[in-house]
Chains A and B, each alone.
Chain A
Amino acid sequence: MATQILPVTTPPRGGAARPSRNRGDGRAAAIYLLPAAVLLLAVLAYPIYQLVLISFYDYGQAQAAGRAPLEFVGFGNYTKLLGEAQFWTVLAKTVGFAAVCVIGSLVVGTTLAVLASRVRAVPRMLLFIAALGAWATPALAGSYIWLFLFDTDFGLVNEVLSGLGFESMARHSWTFDTYSAFGLVAAEVIWCSFPFVMITMYAGIKAIPEEVLEAATLDGASWTRIATSVMLPILRPVLMIATIQSIIWDFKVFTQIYVMTNGGGLAGRNLVLNVYAYQEAFAGADYGLGAAIGVVMTLLLLSITTLYVRSQKREAGLI
């Protein structure tokens, strides 16, 4: 079927619900789709168009207030942006940061899903409740908790480390150095995003029919062989949902970076594209440049996800 695009729609075994071919389907569909469509067009599609448009103008405070005429600058904002060394640094940091978060949550989530599938109900329930707790924690609250744990003066981590004999950690600042600040934010992001991966992967593992694994065991396959040749191919579509979602989420982390590094760190050392665009637009009052960063980011995210979906579509049986 041409409509199978995401693994979410892997056809269920047995009679799949085929859309009924009735007269008047088109009209009914229009009525059912209308509310969502109006909203998505007005608050999603139109702003995307506006974003591209604004990125072609010199749009500052005066223009936003209507005190000065708009000046069309074509690709001016883009050439200015791409000519700046800071843009390339921020881009590299964004990609690196997102990659660490994606890989981190996938590895932690998958490992714990496998672990959860092999233990009895009580320990598994404890792990699930803890994971749901981390998942439920709002990004802002999570940022504050981790900042407090790693606080220079009153943080538990410094206290424990210096108690263990690492005297130099007594008043260590975790947010001062670029890498340790990014690392701290990444740890928080992984903490609150691995549960999604874990629960999806756990659901995927549970969906593997018992007989398949038994048959493989009877055939004398080793555990690693079962994992790579039996489980992995079955789990690939699920793994793909988890990966795509993680890429989409981690690439656009805003709150954690903004709060934990206080707006992007000293001298903007901890900026990612999102925060960079926000600062240029709202703090620097250069909406044109901010919009250009937004467009670049959107294109980047679209191409990464599209490439990934394409590279995997054959194995996952998509499109």
Chain B
Amino acid sequence: MTATATAPPVADTPARAPKRRRPRRTGRLVAEIITVVVAGIVAFPLYWMVLSALKPAGEIQSANPRPWTFSPSFDSFERVLTSAGLGRYFVNSVIVAVVVVALSMLLSFLAAVALTRFRFKGRTVLLVMLLVAQMVPIEALTIPLFFLMRSVGDVAPAFGLNELGSLVLVHLAFTLPFAIWMLRGFVAAVPAELEEAATVDGASRFRFTWQILFPLVAPGLVATSVLSFIHAWNDFLFAKTFIISDTSNQTLPLGILVFFKPEENDWGAIMAGSTLMTIPVLVFFLLVQRKLVSGMAGAVKG
């Protein structure tokens, strides 16, 4: 029965294939051309940013911009790094982002393990609260957080206003709910049998967490760390609100703002600053690209 049912399509294939394959092939070629063109359009703003950052001062202020340049120069980069001290702001941004990523990976991993692997009262309530926390518009909390950080400064100066610690605390709190949610799927995907086997072998819960779960969940940690990194690195609002008098603790976004004055923008400097700001994220993304895509897939599949 099965044999006769499957036979016809197999016999048909040679006869049908040439007819069917040609339109499909041209269809795919058209799709591929469209894909490449779209990729070009999507990437163009970034190309334009780097190109404009490399154009000499006279050329960028031209009313007839060219999509290439004959005389690339690093003047704009030099200008932003020396006169505005963007180097210092760059380091500040890196410190905040790296600390936020490291701590958020650690804390969200522990919380995700507890929420998926342990059974205790109030687990469901906690999960719902985490979901709700993701919807809270953090920007709306700028006002109470400003007052909070002002009073924290009296007790723990490193986390008060004008200190990088205040930014770390805020970004950590805002990336955690999403990071925990995302990691839950990865932790849950590790088979229960593995845990049972480890327990039989005499591994403590602590050892199981670090030696078995942690490496298995690595792609998920990478995907969540990317999202935490972007969040901390992108921040403009909290740096603007918290770092008010001690400008040496300012972060990169605020540093670039100096060159932005309506009517007399120094576009070369702005584009150089934007390039400096984009490169670290881009490098990070490309490094973890594979893990990021598979990480998203993992989060989707659960």
A87 contacts the other chain (CB 8 A): no
**Beta-carbon contact of B192 and A297 below 8 Å:** no
Q: Is the CB of A133 within 8 A of B282?
A: yes
Q: Interface 1/0s, chain B 108-141, versus A by CB < 8 A?
A: 1011011111111101101110011111111111
Chain B CB within 10 Å, residue with most, of A29, A154, A290:
A29
User: Quick one: which of B124-180 are within 8 Å of A by CB?
Assistant: 124, 126-128, 131-145, 147-148, 169-170, 172-174, 176-177, 180
Given contacts A35-B107, A35-B110, contact A124 B35 (CB under 8 A): yes
Is B133 a contact partner of A40 (Cβ separation < 8 A)? yes
Say yes or no: A33 contacts B42, CB within 8 Å.
no
Most buried by B among A145, A199, A258, A259: A145
Once the chains bind, are A36 and B107 in contact (CB under 8 Å)? yes
Known contacts A8-B182, A123-B36; A134/B140 CB under 8 A:
no
Which residues of B in the span 70-120 have a Cβ within 8 Å of any Cβ on A? 106-108, 110-111, 113-120
Is B16 an interface residue when CB atoms closer than 8 A count as contact? no
A40 touches B177 (CB 8 A): yes
Mostly, the A contact residues are helix
Cβ contacts under 8 Å, A39 to chain B: 107, 169, 172-173, 176
Q: Which of B269-302 contact A (CB under 8 A)?
A: 270-271, 273-275, 277-278, 281-282, 284-286, 289, 292-293, 296-297, 299-302
Cβ of A48 within 8 Å of any chain B Cβ, yes or no, is yes
B residues near A135, Cβ cutoff 8 Å: 230, 285
Q: Could you tell me the distance between the alpha carbons of A254 and B231 in the complex, rounded to whole angstroms? A: 13
B258 at the A interface (CB under 8 A): no
A120, A151, A202: the one within 8 Å of B267 (CB): A151
Residues of A within 8 A of B262 (CB): 262
CB distance from A266 to the nearest CB of B (A): 11
Q: What residue in chain A is nearest B298 (Cβ atoms)?
A: A203
Q: Are B116 and A138 in contact (CB under 8 A)?
A: no
Residues on B with C-beta less than 8 A from A207 are 297, 300-301
B30 to chain A, nearest CB (A): 10
Residues of chain B with a CB closer than 8 A to A137's CB:
45-46, 278, 281-282
The reply to whether A148 and B32 form a contact with Cβ atoms under 8 Å apart is no
Check A278–B267 contact: CB distance below 8 A. no
Choose one: B116, B196, B289; the contact of A132 (CB below 8 Å): B289
Nearest CB to that of A163 among chain B residues? B64
A123 to B108, alpha carbons, bound, how many Å?
A: 36
C-alpha spacing A278/B142, complex, angstroms: 8
| A26 to B297 CA separation, bound complex (whole angstroms) | 31
Q: A39-B176, A203-B293 are in contact. Are A2 and B124 (CB under 8 A)?
A: yes
Tell me whether chain B's interface is mostly helix, strand or loop, or mixed. helix
Tell yes or no: A238 within 8 A of B by CB: yes
A248 touches B134 (CB 8 A): yes
Partner of A159 from the list B60, B65, B187, B192 (CB cut-off 8 Å) is: B65
Please pick, from B114, B132, B169, B297, the residue contacting A29 in the complex, using a CB distance under 8 A. B114
Decide if B230 touches A136 in the complex (CB within 8 Å).
Answer: yes
CB of B137 within 8 A of CB of A294, answer yes
Does A67 sit at the interface, judged by CB under 8 A? Answer: no
The docked-state distance in angstroms from the alpha carbon of A251 to that of B177 is: 18
Chain A contacts with B in 182-202, Cβ cutoff 8 A: 191, 199-200, 202
Q: Is B11 an interface residue (CB 8 A)?
A: no
**A33 pairs with B114, CB closer than 8 A:** yes
B49 touches A145 (CB 8 A): yes
Q: How far is the CA of A317 from the CA of B170 in the complex (A)?
A: 34
Contact B117 A144 (CB under 8 A): no
Which residue of the partner chain B has the closest CB to A127? B39
A204 in the interface, Cβ–Cβ < 8 Å?
Answer: yes
Residues of B195-216 at the interface with A, using a CB-CB cut-off of 8 Å, are 195-196, 199, 205
Of A9-17, A72-80, A99-107, A225-233, the one touching chain B: A9-17
CB distance from A17 to the nearest CB of B (A): 5
Q: How far is the CB of A306 from chain B (nearest CB, A)?
A: 8
Query: Within 8 Å of chain A (Cβ to Cβ): is B43?
Result: yes
B residues less than 8 Å from A204 (CB atoms): 300
Given contacts A130-B40, A248-B135, A302-B135, contact A287 B293 (CB under 8 A): no
12 contacts between A and B (CB under 8 A): A8-B300, A16-B192, A19-B117, A33-B115, A47-B144, A119-B32, A123-B35, A141-B274, A154-B267, A159-B65, A203-B296, A252-B137
Q: A3-B123, A130-B43 are in contact. List 8 more A-B contacts (CB 8 A).
A: A12-B301, A22-B118, A40-B177, A140-B277, A145-B49, A154-B65, A207-B301, A248-B134
Q: Which 10 pairs from chain A and chain B are nearest by CB?
A: A294-B140, A50-B144, A203-B297, A43-B173, A141-B274, A32-B114, A130-B43, A47-B144, A130-B42, A130-B39
B: which residues have CB within 8 A of A? 9, 28, 31-32, 34-36, 38-40, 42-43, 45-46, 48-49, 52, 60-65, 67, 106-108, 110-111, 113-121, 123-124, 126-128, 131-145, 147-148, 169-170, 172-174, 176-177, 180-182, 184-185, 187-193, 195-196, 199, 205, 230, 233-234, 236-237, 241, 253, 256, 260, 262, 265, 267, 270-271, 273-275, 277-278, 281-282, 284-286, 289, 292-293, 296-297, 299-302
Give A contacts to B, CB under 8 Å.
2-3, 5-12, 14-22, 25-26, 28-30, 32-33, 35-37, 39-40, 42-44, 46-48, 50-51, 54, 64, 112, 115-116, 118-120, 123-124, 126-142, 144-146, 148-149, 151, 153-156, 159, 191, 199-200, 202-204, 206-207, 218, 237-238, 241, 248, 251-252, 254-255, 258-259, 262, 274, 277-278, 281-282, 287, 290-291, 293-295, 297-298, 301-302, 305
